[in-house]
Amino acid sequence: MRVLAAGSLKTVWPALMAHFPEPVDTRFGPAGLLREQIEAGEPCDLFASASEAHPQKLLAARQALAIMSFATNKLCITVRSDRLQAGDDWYQLLTRDSLRIATSTPAADPSGDYAQILFTRMGHVGEVVRKRAIPLVGGRDSAAIPAGRLAAEWIIHTDQADLFIGYASYRAALSQIAGLTVIDIPEAVNPVARYACAVITPEAGRLATFLRSEQAKAVLREAGFGCDF
144 and 45 housed in the same domain: no
Question: Could you tell me if residue 229 is inside a domain?
Answer: no
43 and 127 housed in the same domain: no
Query: Residues, the chain, total?
Result: 229
Give the integer Cα–Cα distance in Å for 65 and 117: 29
* CATH code of the domain covering residue 50: 3.40.190.10
Domain that holds residue 177: 75-184
Which residues are within 8 A (CB) of 162 and not within 5 positions of it... i.e. 6 or more apart? 79, 80, 83, 99, 100, 101, 156
How confident is the prediction along the chain (229 residues), in pLDDT tens digits per residue?
Answer: 999 999 999 999 999 999 999 999 999 999 999 999 999 999 999 999 999 999 999 999 999 999 999 999 999 999 999 999 999 999 999 999 999 999 999 999 999 999 999 999 999 999 999 999 999 999 999 999 999 999 999 999 999 999 999 999 999 999 999 999 999 999 999 999 999 999 999 999 999 999 999 999 999 999 999 998 7
